Amino acid sequence: MSLTNEQYDSIMREYDRIRNRNARATAEKQKMLYAKFPEIKAWENRAVTLKVREARLKMEGADERQIEDVENEVTELLVNRMALLESNGLSNEDFEPIYDCKYCKDTGYVYEPDGTRYKCHCFKDREINILYNQSGIRQLLKTENFSKLSFSYQEGEDLERLKMAASVCKNFVETFDTEYKNLLFNGTVGTGKSFLSCCIASELLETYHSVIYLSSISLFDILAKKQFSKDGADSAEETGNLYDCDLLIIDDLGTELSNSFVASALFGLINERNLKRKSTIISTNLDLRELGERYSERVLSRLTGNFIFLQLTGKDTRMLVK
């Protein structure tokens, strides 16, 4: 999964608007040029008539001299047109259609000679912009990615744990499309749990995967709104994305209010994403025993059975950086 159908349709509607706008601009531009140089329009019309005549002569098997005379007249018209344009600082390009993107002609796709097509760079730019906005961490990823990862603030066993976790995270990204995995980061404040989650998100977003990053408080607010609010239908798409996005990141699990709904909703979310083979990353300050006590044994069973457990320890890196 990358874009939802609605997101894809929104991009294609944008291309429709761009083509319509540029078609109007092209028509206005050509109207002004033909008004200024009426002989060009006359020459073009004459050239079209001659081309039709040439085709008919060839079909009738006419003498080559007749066909050559027609071709020479067309060439003369084109030479006259070019000379007039150049004398006025213009070229054939001034009569061509206007496009925002000349590669795909504002369609979003580039076609190969054999008919195959691929997404144009302008489509990919729009796609990744939507994915970044959906993730909710566009600004955060400017400072939290693998290029900013430092091992200089930890030492000893804490450093080894951080290095091992970073290696697991890089492998998680490299094998994301071929191996189904989930990660559970556990540790005290500032040891790198959220940072490593952002590193993974940054890499996957760059390769057009859909990622949603939410604090546990925001996550359960969304799920509760769908469950209990009269306007819950309005959040149906947002809730659906939680179950279907390529990667869901739940940050700071355990900071939300604890109740039976939260435990049930968490189990349902983890269980359904597991059935769909959609990866999830969870970061928490709670250890496994505390997770079981807070969310139930069946949630703990899903976590221990389907998640790679990564414990991070050591100093509060955020405080050291400050």
pLDDT score at 63: 83
Considering only residues 78 and 176, tell me which one the structure prediction assigns the higher pLDDT: 176
Going by the DSSP 8-state scheme, the letter that residue 175 receives in this structure is T
63-72, 144-153, 230-239: least confident range: 230-239
Considering only residues 148 and 111, tell me which one the structure prediction assigns the higher pLDDT: 111
In DSSP notation, 90-148 reads --GGGGSPP-S-TTTTTSSEEE-TTS-EEE-HHHHHHHHHHHHHHHT-TTGGGTSSGGG
Distance CA 62, CA 203 (A): 65
pLDDT score at 233: 44
pLDDT reading at 149 higher than 70: yes
pLDDT tens-digit map of 9-48: 999 999 999 999 999 999 999 899 889 889 888 988 888 9
pLDDT reading at 236 higher than 70: no
pLDDT score at 320: 55
What does the pLDDT average to over 67-92? 87
Considering only residues 258 and 108, tell me which one the structure prediction assigns the higher pLDDT: 108
Give the pairing type, strands 211-215 and 117-119: unpaired
pLDDT reading at 237 higher than 60: no
Inter-residue contact 123 to 109 (CB < 8 Å): yes
pTM over 0.75: no
pLDDT-based confidence at 319, cuts 50/70/90? low
Architecture in CATH of 136-321: 3-Layer(aba) Sandwich (3.40)
Considering only residues 2 and 296, tell me which one the structure prediction assigns the higher pLDDT: 296
